[in-house]
Chains A and B, each alone.
Chain A
Amino acid sequence: MNLFRSEGHIKKWLNGREPGATLTAVKLSELADAWWHDRLATDWVPHTRDQNRAILDHLGLIGDFWRLP
């Protein structure tokens, strides 16, 4: 899960490998905020699969790639 200078750099880095998912830095930041914001809360409990699914759905991260186990 890496940060690149451009989509072109991702393509070069993949070097013919099957690409995964590409997001803008803004979308990544939104995802990180939704996913991690409560990680240090004193009342933290593990996210359920449904909670994580809802985070991804809300951000439009749907489809086979984003299907949780």
Chain B
Amino acid sequence: MEERDIALRRQTYRLFVELGRAPTVDEIADITRLRPIDVASGWRRLHDAHALVLQPDRLEIRMANPFSGIPTRYRVRAAEREWYANCAWDAFGICAALQVDGRIETSCPDCGIAIGVDVREQRPDPAEFWFHCLVPAARWWDDIVFT
């Protein structure tokens, strides 16, 4: 991965954290002083490198793992802000990436009952819940949104 793309990714993630949502091409162009067309090209290269995931039909961020660009069943509150995570792994990953304590709000996919987990020093409280991953690691990127 080229340094220019790493820098673009860094700015994209930084603004994602700050805004609590996926930044737009124009917002990134404003802070990087790049042309929107160059932001778009960089995002496409980052998408191809699995460094972020774009929507299939438009130039918007679907995933900047562990953050989600769209609302999901995994809501994370930390550092007085909120983000959506792509999955349970990513929900814990937001606290890990921010290196802060936080709270995950979701619901059991089986029964729909609400689940709330506090994350303190990267440990869950309560610790009684279970994680299930359906897709083997070798196939995660075959369809990362489904995974």
Report which of A39, A46, A65, A66 forms a contact with B97, defined as CB distance below 8 A: A39
Range, interface on chain A: 35 or more
Q: Is the CB of A2 within 8 A of B132?
A: yes
Q: Give the size category of B's interface with A.
A: 35 or more
The reply on A60 being an interface residue by CB < 8 A is no
Q: Which one of B25-33, B36-44, B55-63, B123-131 is at the interface? A: B123-131
Q: A1-B88, A9-B111, A29-B122 are in contact. Are A24 and B97 (CB under 8 A)?
A: no
Task: Evaluate contact between B134 and A20: CB separation under 8 angstroms.
Answer: yes
Q: In the complex where A29-B122, A46-B1 touch, is A4 in contact with B96 (Cβ < 8 A)?
A: no
Tell me whether A20 and B127 are in contact in the complex, defined as CB-CB below 8 angstroms, given that A39-B66, A44-B6 are known contacts. no
A43 to B104, CA, bound (A): 27
Contact across chains for B17 and A40 when beta carbons are under 8 A apart: yes
Tell whether, in the assembled complex, residue B13 and residue A23 are in contact, meaning their CB atoms are under 8 Å apart.
no
> By the criterion CB–CB under 8 Å, are A9 and B88 in contact?
no
Q: A1-B147, A2-B132, A39-B13 are in contact. Are A29 and B137 (CB under 8 A)?
A: no
A-B contact pairs, 6 of them (CB 8 A): A5-B111, A5-B128, A25-B126, A25-B128, A32-B96, A44-B10
Contacts A22-B133, A31-B89, A67-B138 aside, 4 further interface pairs with beta carbons under 8 A come to A3-B131, A36-B65, A37-B96, A44-B10
Q: Give A residues with C-beta under 8 Å from B.
A: 1-7, 9-10, 12-14, 17, 19-33, 35-40, 42, 44-46, 56, 64-69
